[in-house]
Amino acid sequence: MYPRKFSYVAPSRVEDVLRLLKRYGDEAKLLAGGHSLLPMMKLRIVGPRVVIDLKNLRDRLAYIRDGARAVRIGALTTHAEIEFSDMLKREVPLLPEVARWVGDMQVRNMGTVGGSLAHADPAADWPVAMLALNATFTVQGARKRAVPASKFFKGPFTTALKPSELLTEITVPKPPKGHGWSWKKFERKAGDFATVNVAVIAVPDGRGQIRDVSIAVGSVNPVPYRAAGAEKMLRGKRPDAELLKAAAEAAAEPAEPTSDLRGSAEYKKWLTRVMVRRALEEALSRAGISVEVVQHA
Ligand SMILES: Cc1cc2nc3c(=O)[nH]c(=O)nc-3n(C[C@H](O)[C@H](O)[C@H](O)COP(=O)(O)OP(=O)(O)OC[C@H]3O[C@@H](n4cnc5c(N)ncnc54)[C@H](O)[C@@H]3O)c2cc1C
CATH number at residue 132: 3.30.465.10
Ligand 1 pocket, residues with Cβ under 6 angstroms: 29-37, 75, 102-103, 107, 111-112, 114-116, 118-119, 121, 124-126, 161, 166-167, 191, 193
- How high is the mean pLDDT of the chain? 96
pLDDT value at position 294?
A: 64
Domain of 234 in residue numbering reads as: 180-286
Q: Are residues 277 and 184 in the same domain?
A: yes
Q: Are residues 70 and 130 in the same domain?
A: yes
CATH number at residue 52: 3.30.43.10
Q: Give 26-66 pLDDT, tens digit per residue.
A: 999 999 999 999 999 999 999 999 999 999 999 999 999 99
| Whether 78 and 155 share a structural domain | yes
Query: Do 101 and 141 fall within a single domain?
Result: yes
Domain identity same for 156 and 65 = yes
Say if CB 94 and CB 101 are below 8 A apart: no
C-alpha distances (whole Å) from 268 to each of 100, 197, 264 are: 23, 11, 6
**pLDDT above 80: residue 214:** yes
Question: What does the pLDDT read at residue 191?
Answer: 87
40-73 core/surface letters (b: 16 or more CB in 10 A; e: else): bbeeeebebebbbbbeebbeebbebeeeeebbbb
Indicate if 167 and 187 belong to the same structural domain.
no
Q: Which amino acid is at 143?
A: R
Q: For residues 74 and 166, state if they share a domain.
A: yes
Number of domains making up the chain: 3
Nearest CA to ligand 1 atom 51: 35
| pLDDT score of 216 | 98
CA-closest residue to ligand 1 atom 4: 103
Query: Closest ligand 1 atom to the C-alpha of 193?
Result: 8
| Of 37, 78, 125, 165, best ligand 1 pocket probe by most atoms within 8 Å of the beta carbon | 37
> Can you give the pLDDT at residue 297?
59
Report the separation in Å between the CA atom of 35 and the middle of ligand 1, taken as the mean of its atom positions: 5
Q: How far apart are CA 12 and CA 18, in angstroms?
A: 11
Same domain, 235 and 250: yes
Ligand 1 centre from 237 Cα, in Å? 39
Q: Classify residue 23: in a domain, yes or no.
A: yes
- Give me ligand 1 centre to Cα 29, in Å: 13
Q: Give the residue from 130, 149, 173 where a domain finishes.
A: 173
How many angstroms does the Cα of residue 78 sit away from the middle of ligand 1? 10
- Per DSSP bridges, beta strands 166-173 and 70-74 are antiparallel
**Does residue 123 have a pLDDT over 70?**
yes
